[in-house]
Amino acid sequence: MTLLHTIALLGVAVFAISGALAAGRRHFDLLGVVVIALVTALVTATGGGTLRDILLDRHPVFWIKDTTYIYVSLIAALLTVVYARWRHPPARLILIADALGLALFSISGAQIAEHAGHGGIVAIIMGTLTGAAGGVLRDMMCAEVPLILRRGRIYATAAIVGIAIYLLLQLVIDRTLAALLGMACIAALRLGAIFWNWTLPVFSLPGDKDEQ
Amino acid sequence: MTLLHTIALLGVAVFAISGALAAGRRHFDLLGVVVIALVTALVTATGGGTLRDILLDRHPVFWIKDTTYIYVSLIAALLTVVYARWRHPPARLILIADALGLALFSISGAQIAEHAGHGGIVAIIMGTLTGAAGGVLRDMMCAEVPLILRRGRIYATAAIVGIAIYLLLQLVIDRTLAALLGMACIAALRLGAIFWNWTLPVFSLPGDKDEQ
Amino acid sequence: MTLLHTIALLGVAVFAISGALAAGRRHFDLLGVVVIALVTALVTATGGGTLRDILLDRHPVFWIKDTTYIYVSLIAALLTVVYARWRHPPARLILIADALGLALFSISGAQIAEHAGHGGIVAIIMGTLTGAAGGVLRDMMCAEVPLILRRGRIYATAAIVGIAIYLLLQLVIDRTLAALLGMACIAALRLGAIFWNWTLPVFSLPGDKDEQ
């Protein structure tokens, strides 16, 4: 479980960074904005895992059981705010931090669903929820269209594909290696979508032109 | 419980249809939109029941316990996407599917609250939540004003009235028959609101003209 | 626990008033708007406590265990609607009722987290969640930017400061008195923000002018 713990702490940290940046959008001059950045970072970092724990009836919820997660979120958010005031971060940093958070939490969410005795479709759904819910909450708090719902963009698809690859690979190779490959796959798909504008293929059927 | 199970599967299917249609809005040419339609359908179909199970501390949550619900949602959503590409569905189909989902889930939610030993006001609230929450999540995901909050429109009222009728009728007639009549009442009120634009009565008090 | 119970009932009532007013915005001529006002009031009044109970695995959830909370919410909302039709309430009444709800629920949420064996950071987070979540749900239902996220405005800060003061004071003075002082502090900070437009201080670092 140590690797899973490290991965969860890393996931919390990168999601906290994305939350703090999204809340602040480079203006951190008011103490109030710092408070909002910390609140948003905390919600982003813990949202997915909290939903997973409640759905799987795992109590106490992870951040109540181990408050390290809270402190890691707050410290990551605070460092982000300080850094963002000193030198403004590239606009894509939110998306990159989000991509890493998605990769880390999707696979760890799927693994926790497996630990709880579920597999296949439930592991895929629970992993996707764990990975995506924090970002959805962050985007809702910042009144943005959630990344998961932007058309043509690879988001849920990246999580679903990566988890499926992890589930298949672990049948033939070492579980830890399968998890790392699954994460790499999710991160690669999302980063490709961010940097090279990858989209999902258009498919058309006869008669498409008739509709609008 | 077999009738309750069938009703829940039907409810999941019709809500999945409404979710897939709302997410797609007739444009299903991108694979990414299909993924969003499946995700939205799944959230719409399972949202209300999940909230009910969590509030009533029923674990495992219904779709984790019985994955048939997931497959029914996904198949209903996929068939909807295929159909919508072949022949575009009438605009009101979302509302009709939603009306049936509301009817089926409101009564089954109330019944499950009763099974858990609650009655009266808790059954009404839990039934309304079970019926309405999936649609609220769908509308939030599609950035629409939730149906339940559109002014003058009969929505929550339909669920509340139908559940109250079911609770009263079952004191005098067969429970299954009472449930079917309650559902029929909710569906009739919503469909009336959709097709004949039924609204709730305006009532006025002396002095109304003074205010705006 | 009697004081805690009274405080929770009061909190439910004031949040129900803010929810009913926010849903109605002075137009209560349609029966449908009254239903929406009651639904919004109920969600506002019970949202924070429900989230707290689910996160802390306290079942049955408070309003399922004791339906008095439901009736108090509905009666408070109904009286608000009747009053608002008779004489339209000052625009700030929503904010004032919300400030009192925040004060009452933040401290009682923190106390319940303490009863459950948690302290420090978990009590602060749980208190803030309990106090703020109902208002966030209300604002989301009414398609407003949640109060907690309005820039520069003291909202989450008031809750956090008040809970911290309560946690510190109870080490040296009577617990009940500490709770009342914590509540007074939260209410005073929020009311100051509402009436005298208090905001949090701006702090600047060298180089601020370089950024935008």
Annotate C119-145 with DSSP letters as a single string.
Answer: -HHHHHHHHHHHHHHHHHHHHHHTT--
Query: Considering only A161-165, A191-195, C164-168, which range has the smallest mean pLDDT?
Result: A191-195
Q: Name residues whose C-beta falls within 8 Å of residue A68's C-beta, 6 or more positions apart in sequence.
A: A9
Band (C212; pLDDT cuts 50, 70, 90):
very low
Nearest to B70 among A121, A151, A203 (CB): A121
Say whether C50 and B55 touch across the interface (CB within 8 A): yes
Q: Is residue B128 part of a domain?
A: yes
The count of domains in chain B is 1
pLDDT over 80 at B148, yes or no: no
What pLDDT score was predicted for residue A188? Answer: 95
Nearest to C203 among A29, A61, A143 (CB): A29
Q: Is residue B159 part of a domain?
A: yes
Say whether B35 and A121 touch across the interface (CB within 8 A): no
Q: Do C142 and C22 contact (CB within 8 A), yes or no?
A: yes
Using a CB–CB cutoff of 8 Å, tell me whether C77 touches chain B.
Answer: no
For the segment A139-176, what is each residue's pLDDT rounded down to a tens digit? 887 777 777 777 667 888 999 999 999 999 999 999 99
Residue of chain C whose alpha carbon sits nearest to that of B57: C59
What is chain C's mean pLDDT, rounded?
87
C-alpha pair distances (Å), B50 with each of B54, B63, B78, C130, C150:
6, 8, 22, 21, 31
What pLDDT score was predicted for residue C199? Answer: 76
What pLDDT score was predicted for residue B3? Answer: 80
For the segment C68-106, what is each residue's pLDDT rounded down to a tens digit? 999 999 999 999 988 888 888 887 888 999 999 999 999
What is chain B's mean pLDDT, rounded?
87
Instruction: Enumerate the residues of chain C whose CB falls inside 8 A of the CB of residue B202.
Output: 29-31
Say whether C32 and B212 touch across the interface (CB within 8 A): no
Neighbours of chain C (3+ CB pairs under 8 A): A, B
Using a CB–CB cutoff of 8 Å, tell me whether C93 touches chain B.
Answer: no
Q: Is residue A207 part of a domain?
A: no
What pLDDT score was predicted for residue C152? Answer: 62
Q: Is residue C35 part of a domain?
A: yes
Å from C150 to nearest chain A CA?
Answer: 9
Structure tokens at C189: 């900070």
Q: Is residue B209 part of a domain?
A: no
Using a CB–CB cutoff of 8 Å, tell me whether B64 touches chain A.
Answer: yes
Q: Is residue B208 part of a domain?
A: no
Considering only residues A121 and C142, tell me which one the structure prediction assigns the higher pLDDT. A121
ipTM above 0.85 for this complex: yes
Q: What range does the domain containing C177 cover?
A: 2-199
Query: Model pTM?
Result: 0.90
pLDDT over 90 at A32, yes or no: no
Percent of chain B with pLDDT strictly greater than 70: 89
Between CA C2 and CA B69 the distance in angstroms is: 44
In the numeric block, the tokens 């299903």 are attached to B28
Say whether B208 and C60 touch across the interface (CB within 8 A): no
Neighbours of chain A (3+ CB pairs under 8 A): B, C
Nearest residue to A48 (alpha-carbon basis) of A97, A81, A8, A20: A8
Å from A43 to nearest chain C CA?
Answer: 10
Nearest to A88 among C151, C202, C211 (CB): C211
For the segment B164-204, what is each residue's pLDDT rounded down to a tens digit? 999 999 999 999 999 999 999 999 999 998 888 887 766 55
Nearest to A31 among C120, C140, C201 (CB): C201
Instruction: Enumerate the residues of chain C whose CB falls inside 8 A of the CB of residue A67.
Output: 120-122
Between CA A80 and CA A102 the distance in angstroms is: 19
pLDDT over 90 at B4, yes or no: no
Say whether B151 and C30 touch across the interface (CB within 8 A): yes
Going through chain B in order, the beta strands assigned E by DSSP cover: none
For the segment A14-31, what is each residue's pLDDT rounded down to a tens digit? 999 999 998 876 566 666
Q: Is residue A110 part of a domain?
A: yes
Say whether A157 and B31 touch across the interface (CB within 8 A): yes
For the segment C190-199, what is each residue's pLDDT rounded down to a tens digit? 999 888 888 7
Say whether C30 and B199 touch across the interface (CB within 8 A): yes
Between CA C15 and CA C50 the distance in angstroms is: 14
Using a CB–CB cutoff of 8 Å, tell me whether A67 touches chain C.
Answer: yes
